[in-house]
Amino acid sequence: MRLRRGTIFALALALTLPAAGVAHAAPRRDRSATLFLAGLSVSLGNPKVAGFYLALLPNLIDLGHVDLLGYAELAGLCVAVLTVVLGSYALAAARARSLFNSPRAVRWFNRTGGTLMAGAAIAVASK
Per-residue pLDDT tens, the chain, 127 aa: give them.
556 667 777 777 777 766 666 565 566 676 778 878 888 788 778 888 778 878 888 888 888 888 999 889 988 888 898 889 888 988 898 888 878 777 888 888 888 888 888 888 888 888 7
Distance CA 13, CA 114 (A): 7
Does the pTM exceed 0.75? no
pLDDT recorded at residue 68: 92
Contact 1, 126 (CB under 8 A): no
Distance CA 57, CA 77 (A): 12
